[in-house]
Structure 1
Amino acid sequence: MRKFNQSILLILGVLIINYSTAQKAQTPENTYELGAKINEMTLTVGGILVAATNEGLVGIDPKNSAPIFTFNNFGKLEPEETDFIPDSPYIVVSQGANSKFAGLAKTKRAVINYINGKVIFNSETDNWNQIFTCNVVLPQNKLIVSGIQKEGDKFEKMTPKLAVYDLETQKLDYSFFLDKPGRVGIGKDFSVTGTPLLLKDFLIIPTAQGLIAKKHNGEDLWECKIKGINWMVADKTEKEIYGFETTTNGKNTRIHKIGSNGVELWKDDRKVQGNISNFQILPQGLAVVSDKSSGGSISVFAASDESEIGFLSASTGEDLWEKAPKTKGYVQHFYVQDDGILFGIQQGGINKISFDGKTLFKKPLKTGENIMLMAESPQGLIYITSEDANIVDLKTGDQVWSKPLKYKRATSVASTFDSSNNRYLIAADGKIMAIDANSGNVSDFAKCDFDEKEDPSSMEIRNDGVFLSSDQNMTLVNFDGDEVYHAYHKSPGRSTFGKIVGGALAVASTAMAVGMSARAGANRTGYGSMNDLSSYNDYGKEAKRAADMFSGIATASFAYLATRFKSTAATENAQFILTSLDEGTGLVKVNKDTGKIEKEIVLKDKKPEYQVDEISGVLYYKANDKTIYAYNLQN
């Protein structure tokens, strides 16, 4: 089953402390006997646990004593056959040939709403013999299916067809044939080759024959001979459409522009090197980021593996910049602002360029590798890499701090803003450093020497001080830098880590949920721009953005998702930690302010497989090959 990795946080840690006052929980709130071997567990963005078994999929809602759905129609599913649609309540299940045209092989598709447990679409029950494409379209909340349907006379049963279903009502909106059934003449291939574009009044379908536009009732509008289109995006007026074609060798992308009447609007298509990773239509032109690869897997160390940033004329497709900015690496951050485009490179470096191609920073800003954070702060743009940190003026690129804060290369760097004392706190090199927000002066605030040579991964301001944690360590220091407590316990074994995936909807990561991918095949009628610079430490703002995104779709399931993002996480005042207890490996709930364990759950398993929903405060534990326990961590 595909790993669902939008909007989650790994929360691990171990702690030496007096266990005698902790509440022990040996009996789960609910036990789920699934009747088949459990191969994998996935915690969804909606908090529902989906287990893949030898017989299919099972959905578990801890509020119910029995699974909310069991999908065994297709039998055991391979990992690549289950797709959790990001930022939605939907799972698309695929089985059979994965080619764009399956020939005589039978293909199956199903769509499940994991929140209400309903199977919205099943190609078997709807008499689809072959499926070319099956795409969830948001925010319209539709499903577009293309293929061969076994309905009608012998000619209709052989003619490619497209259907649009409403995901809320689970009913067919409309369907039509892509070719005339029984048409006599030279054979034409009308198999669907990419993601159809659903517009207000019509659809555009990329086929092996070219682009086809049809009204929602199936009435023909126009055809265009542009072939090989993988995905499309329209401007706000829906009068201008951009189509993206990946070349046969996969190393380049061609961009086509057509009008809503099917007429090609550019004299020639625009060829860009690499695969497009970001595309945005702006009033000033088209922002394009493409990633070039020397071949094989992309390597950040290969000189030829880098991103290109281009800015094209919407009217002609010509490059508006005389000289594209040099990247010398992959674009890790890309943000559109009022005066230009701000970007950060994975191999190090930040720059900003105006919409007319002029460099806005006096010179490219040199940084360490792996820019973990770029965000707006009252003082300017704060960036944190694995090697350094600083704040720079967003207009000029001038350093606000006289020189970058440098430290040894770290796998993670924890930071926060202490508003009461008007200072930034950054943990690295075994200590917490304080940077005065006004002067930029740096001073050592507190020691932070974590065991197992761990780098702190999170920091937050509490009522009584600054809380800092990593996988195996927790500490609280008061606002004078004196340690209140430090707790550590040896990890139960590194081999355990690969089996543990925390299910947190970490508010710090909710900005990811607002965006959508620009990869080929992605739904380009999605929620909105992913290119907005976040505000440093303003987790509430990011959570609200995500909640508003879900609230924009008027269905009960999306309303439920919006409510979850508005909820206070169970980890606000506690951290859930894996440790070795007297009776075996277990999970403990630790109070962040006191360091005391409030609850213990003994799992009696040296390598437990479990997931924690940190919003609802629920532990899902695989008790044996066929059984899952659900524990309430809140009480």
Structure 2
Amino acid sequence: MRHFNFLVFLLVSTLVVNAQKAETPNQNYNLGAKINEMTLTVGGILVVATNDGLVGIKPTESQPVFTFNNFGKLKPEETEFVPNSPYIIVSQGVGSQLAGLTKTKRAVIDYVKGEVIFNSENDNWNQIYTCNVVLPQNKLIVSGIQKEGNKFEKMTPKVAVYDLNTSKLDYSFFLDKPGRVGIAKDFSVTGTPLLLKEFLIIPTAQGLLAKSHTGEDLWQSKIKGVNWMVADKTEKEIYGFETTTNGKNTRIHKIGSNGAELWNDDRKVQGNVSNFQILPLGLAVVSDRTAAQESEIAFLSASSGEDLWDKAPKTKGFVQHFYVQEDGILFGIQQGGINKISFDGKTLFKKPLKTGENIMVMAESTQGLIYITSEDANIVNLKTGEQVWNKPLKYKRASAVASTFDEANDRYLIAADGKIMAIDATSGDVSDFAKSNFDEKEDPNHMEIRDGGVFLSSNQNMTLVGFDGKETYHAYHKSPGRSTFGKIVGGALAVASTAMTVGMSAKAGANRSAYGSINDLNSYNDYGKEAKRAADMFSNIASASFDYLSTRFKASAATENAQFILTNLNGGTGLVKLNKDTGDIEKEILLKDKKPEYEVDEFGGFLFYKANDQTIYAYNLKK
């Protein structure tokens, strides 16, 4: 388990689910239209796509918090859940200046408030080219054609900035002079605008346009086709990223706050930029070459854009982990391998560290860098790359590896090969701590220290082992069938895709008006720290909805002492709530469906179940 993927863990952790006897739901929602899809949001509100539109369900309320049927039935690709926010962007039609009279519509829903806070039809937008939520400023920037003003203004591309907290227009401006005589110019917006403290930069097919927060012209640049931009902390230096037409390369431009080009020429990196960080000496960039099945790492000079490394490090695979430290850049490869490069391009490890494939964990511990892959684990010195343990802990390749740190006994515990192994944190000595033979040949996917011992679980199994290595209990509940299990996995992935993970919006390609990526190495098992970071991030945005999200992540998981498993009950398939300390069944919910569709919010403590084509049941799992 990746311990620093903490918030995803909180929302979908141990998506192990079982059930038992029939029970009256706490809430019953008849939506009046066929249900097509369910998505559990980071705010714990279930958003349901029906043949009529979208419906938001908050399990503590008897009626939906919102119903959005303005655009009718929506395709999955027409609904975007904005990461790290309470917002949904709904889209119909593809916006383009060349689209002629094609109607395009956009709406933004605050699913916590249950309000439509922007609807292009209400503001007379006939076409929408782009629609971007910008955080942490909490603004919405749209571009397109607005059917207001004289006949020339109704045909001229326009940009508008709205305040998402108040749903009111801050300011708007035209991208071209209405009624201008001459050869028509394409002012299509080509990427995400960059909102800074003093001004706004719009990337267009004609170049970059800078406008004040009241819409006055400041400057123009001939740099065209930029997809996204990011500024340094001073907002004096701005990087623009342009994906080439064939998608095989990315061009990087650097400009000043006055629009001047700070590099003599743009710099090209192969593939699409997947990660980056602005540093005092320059720009660290990771780009992925999909066809070659590998990433490239470059470090570009802040002053000239030239690559500061004479010889880029060979990755021989995709960069799965990328962390900037005081003395250099640490990275891990998905196909196996860890290395560290100084900012002047020198290898800091004596030699690249060989590891197994799929590095699930790279985290900082008191002994050094701990890594856990699908095949091995070890701790290495972060300065030299030398092994702290005499040799890596090897095991058969596993789809999941559970681990934790037993602070009271100063040891790491790792579950693989049907047993829990204990590694002394000081000496690195390995010993067999306990067996973990799970039924259905499952690999344990979660481990935690509890007052009574070590808790270990998978989809259908859970066990508690005393600190002496003796089993306190082992609970197993048979899976309802492979087809149902597939549905569970799909549901888990759907939740994870919309769940908030710290730093998600800072990754390359995401909407960013903040100051680029922050690629810090997390501390092993430091869940509380991650929760606080999330709560603080939400609380820094002035909005009642963000306050709600902050409060949610300040609380402990409502079901932190329980595990949920889907299994066959006497009356059919159902969900069982099990006590982690005893293994006893505390609650059973019969779903009466061989292939149930449901979502579990383990953080809030609720089960959402699709009872039939038009009905959602909500169960309070805390009681």
Contact 2:18-2:568 within 8 A present in 1 as well: no
Q: Give the alignment of 1:20-99 within 5 angstroms.
A: 26-97=23-94, 99=96
Q: Can you list the C-alpha shifts for 1:7-45, whole angstroms capped at 9, x where unaligned?
A: 6425344689xx8xxxx6611111111000000110000
Q: Which residue of 1 aligns with 2:12?
A: 9
In structure 1, C-alpha distance between the alignment counterparts of 2:275 and 2:374, rounded to whole Å: 24
Q: Which amino acid aligns with 2:507?
A: A
SS in 2 for 1:545: helix
Give the corresponding residue for 1:380: 368
Given residue 27 of structure 2, which amino acid in structure 1 is its aligned partner? N
Q: Tell me what 1:214 maps to.
A: 211
- 1:514 deviates by 3.1
Match of 1:248 in 2: 245
CA distance in 2, matches of 1:133, 1:151: 18
**Aligned counterpart, 2:473:** 485
Structure 2: distance between partners of 1:181 and 1:100: 15
Deviates more, 1:544-553 or 1:493-502: 493-502
Structure 1 residue 270 and structure 2 residue 267: aligned? yes
Q: Determine the structure 1 residue equivalent to 2:394.
A: 406
Q: What is aligned with 1:421?
A: 409
Candidates 563, 577, 587, aligned match of 1:599: 587
Q: Is the 8 A contact 2:484 2:595 kept in 1?
A: yes
SS of equivalent residue, structure 2 residue 107:
strand
Partner of 1:297: none
Q: Distance in 2 between matches of 1:181 and 1:483?
A: 77
Shift of 1:132: 0.6
Structure 2 unpaired stretches of 5+: 1-6
TM-score of the superposed pair, with normalisation by structure 2? 0.96
Matched, 1:126 2:123: yes
TM-score (norm 1): 0.94
> How is 1:434-453 mapped onto 2 (pairs within 5 angstroms)?
434-453=422-441
CA apart distance, 1:216: 1.7
Report the CA distance between 1:100 and its aligned residue. 6.9
Contact 2:84 2:500 in 1 (8 A): no
- CA–CA distance in 1 between the matches of 2:152 and 2:198? 28
Q: Counterpart amino acid of 1:74?
A: F
Shift of 1:223: 1.1
**What is the distance in 2 between the residues matched to 1:271 and 1:38?**
46
Letter in 2 for 1:270: R
Whether the 8 Å contact between 2:18 and 2:575 is mirrored in structure 1 is: no
What is the distance in 2 between the residues matched to 1:527 and 1:590? 44
For 1:33 and 1:158, the matched residues in 2 are separated by: 44
**In the alignment, is the contact (CA less than 8 A) between 2:95 and 2:144 conserved in 1?**
no
2:190 is aligned, of 193, 203, 209, to 193
1:157 aligns with 2:160: no
Cα offset, 1:600, TM superposition: 0.6
Q: Which residue of 2 aligns with 1:608?
A: 596
Provide the C-alpha distance between the structure 1 equivalents of 2:60 and 2:17, rounded to a whole number of angstroms.
Answer: 29
Distance in 2, matches of 1:445 and 1:510, equals 34
1:550 to 525, 538, 542: 538
**In structure 2, C-alpha distance between the alignment counterparts of 1:372 and 1:33, rounded to whole Å:** 42
Structure 1 residue 346: Cα displacement = 0.2
Matched, 1:524 2:521: no
Tell me if the contact between 1:310 and 1:324 (Cα under 8 Å) persists in the aligned partners. yes
In the alignment, residue 292 of structure 1 is paired with which amino acid?
Answer: R
Of the structure 1 ranges 98-107 and 35-44, higher mean CA displacement relative to structure 2 is found in 98-107
User: Structure 1: which amino acid aligns with 2:215?
Assistant: G
Q: Secondary structure at the match of 1:558?
A: helix
Which residue matches 1:361?
349
Change (3 A) 1:400 1:546: same
Q: CA deviation at 1:496?
A: 1.4
Deviations 1:574-613 (A, max 9, x none): 1111111111111111000100000111111111111111
Measure how far apart 1:619 and its partner are.
Answer: 0.7
Q: Give 3-state SS (helix, strand or coil) of 1:544's partner.
A: helix
C-alpha distance 510-164 of structure 1, shift in aligned 2 (>3 A): closer
Distance (Å, rounded) in 1 between the aligned partners of 2:516 and 2:535: 14
Moved more, 111-120 or 6-15: 6-15
User: Contact 1:150/1:157 (CA < 8 Å) preserved in 2?
Assistant: yes
1:300 alignment counterpart: none
Amino acid at match of 2:45: I
Q: Distance in 2 between matches of 1:489 and 1:452?
A: 10
**Which structure 2 residues correspond to residues 569-580 of structure 1 after superposition, within 5 A?**
569-580=557-568
Contact 1:14–1:473 (CA under 8 A) maintained in structure 2: no
Which amino acid in the other structure matches residue 512 of structure 1?
Answer: T
Correspondence for 2:295 = 307
SS at match of 1:616: coil
1:339 corresponds to = 327
CA positional deviation for 1:188: 0.8
CA contact (8 A) 1:160 1:179 kept: yes
Q: Distance in 2 between matches of 1:363 and 1:175?
A: 56
Match of 1:515 among 493, 504, 519: 504
Tell me how far 1:186 sits from its aligned partner: 1.4
**Matched AA of 1:513:** V
Encode CA deviations 1:166-198: one digit per residue, 9 max, x unaligned: 000000000011111101111111111111111
Structure 2 distance, partners of 1:355, 1:328, is 20
Aligned counterpart for 1:171 among listed residues 149, 153, 168: 168
Aligned to 2:4: none
Q: CA deviation at 1:240?
A: 1.1
Q: CA deviation at 1:323?
A: 1.1
Q: Distance in 1 between matches of 2:290 and 2:97?
A: 25
Following superposition, the deviation at residue 510 of structure 1 comes to 8.7
Using the alignment, how far apart are the partners of 1:167 and 1:48 within structure 2? Answer: 19
Q: Secondary structure at the match of 2:12?
A: coil
CA-to-partner distance for each residue in 1:324-368, whole Å, 9 max, x for gaps?
111000000000111111100000000111111111111110000
Q: In 1, are the aligned partners of 2:40 and 2:601 still within 8 Å (CA)? A: yes
> What residue in structure 1 maps to residue 288 of structure 2?
291
Distance 2:502 2:588 in 1: 32
1:13–1:491 contact (8 Å) kept in structure 2: no
Q: CA deviation at 1:59?
A: 0.3
Aligned-pair distance for 1:221?
1.1
Report Cα offsets for 1:548-573 as digits up to 9, x if no partner: 11111121111111111111112311
Cα distance in 2 for residues equivalent to 1:195 and 1:575: 42
Partner of 1:588: 576
DSSP-derived class of the 1:229 partner:
coil
CA distance 1:44–1:314, change in 2 (3 Å): same
Paired with 2:457 and 2:97, the residues of 1 have a C-alpha distance of 48
Matched AA of 2:409: N
How far off its partner does 1:262 sit?
1.2
Is the CA contact 2:14–2:457 (under 8 Å) kept in the aligned structure 1? Answer: no
Cα distance, 1:451 vs. partner? 1.1
2:105 pairs with 1:108:
yes
SS at match of 1:516: helix
- Inter-partner Cα distance in structure 2 for 1:607 and 1:181: 58
What's the secondary structure of 2:317's corresponding residue?
coil
Displacement of 1:499 in angstroms is 2.8
2-structure distance, mates of 1:207, 1:98: 14
